[in-house]
Structure 1
Amino acid sequence: MTSPVRVTAAVSKVLAAFLEDPEADRYGLDLMRASGHPSGTLYPILLRLQRAGWVAAEWEQIDPVAAGRPARRYYRLTPDGLVAARTEIAALRQQLDRALGGVAKPRPA
């Protein structure tokens, strides 16, 4: 089931974190550090992105006792999510560029 995603500034930070390395599996603490969001902001965003089909999530298969830590839930952009993230970040950059009167320098996506 997919649902539309309203790409706010907070969502765009999470998408930008995924785009740093689109092929990488990312876990919550890693994404909190990369986006600057606390868990109470990050996890609802991840849930919305999952419901939209932009992000897939999977639990790590480890023995928590042997690893000395709980299993992590890893998140990854789906192929549709990768396209959507790049599109949304590019659109946001265009809006910012227009709002700043062309002052903002373009960055690679």
Structure 2
Amino acid sequence: MTLQTQLVLQALLRDPARELYGRELSQLTGLMPGTTHPILLRLETEGWVTSHKEDIDPRAEKRPARRYYRLTANGAAQASAALAGARRPLGSALRGLTEGGAAS
């Protein structure tokens, strides 16, 4: 799992029931929309995320309609497990570096 995907999942997991729109997720993660949106599309295809386009009049709101994303119940469970698995090797690697550096 890429670091970018991990950042998106972490942002969504902060409040799994909350819907976030694409630009908002980009701001939360520090990623560009061109990076965030393909990740969201892939997560939606995998069933981890659901989305819907808001029903507004773009002329009245003076902005385009936003697409909101939210983790599915299954997606939240899978994301939590995937992030836990992604962190463990990193933690082990860092401990090894710290121990190796302390021994030198």
Compute the TM-score of the two structures, normalised by the length of structure 2. 0.86
- Secondary structure of the corresponding residue to residue 21 of structure 1: coil
Larger Rg: 2
In structure 2, what is the equivalent of residue 9 of structure 1? 3
* CA apart distance, 1:68: 2.3
Matching residue's letter, 1:24: R
Deviates more, 1:90-99 or 1:18-27: 90-99
Q: CA RMSD in A?
A: 1.4
Matching residue's letter, 1:84: Q
Residues 1:33 and 2:38 are matched in the alignment: no
Question: Residues of 2 paired with 1:74 and 1:32: CA distance?
Answer: 13
Residues 1:95 and 2:89 are matched in the alignment: yes
- Secondary structure of the corresponding residue to residue 99 of structure 1: helix
Gaps in structure 1 of 5+ consecutive residues: 1-6, 104-109
- Secondary structure of the corresponding residue to residue 18 of structure 2: coil
Identity %: 46
Tell me which protein shows more helix as a share of its residues: 2
Question: Residues of 2 paired with 1:90 and 1:72: CA distance?
Answer: 31
* CA apart distance, 1:66: 2.2
Select which of 62, 68, 75 maps to 1:74. Answer: 68
Gaps in structure 2 of 5+ consecutive residues: 99-104
Question: Residues of 2 paired with 1:29 and 1:43: CA distance?
Answer: 9
Q: Say how many residue pairs are matched.
A: 97
In structure 2, what is the equivalent of residue 51 of structure 1? 45
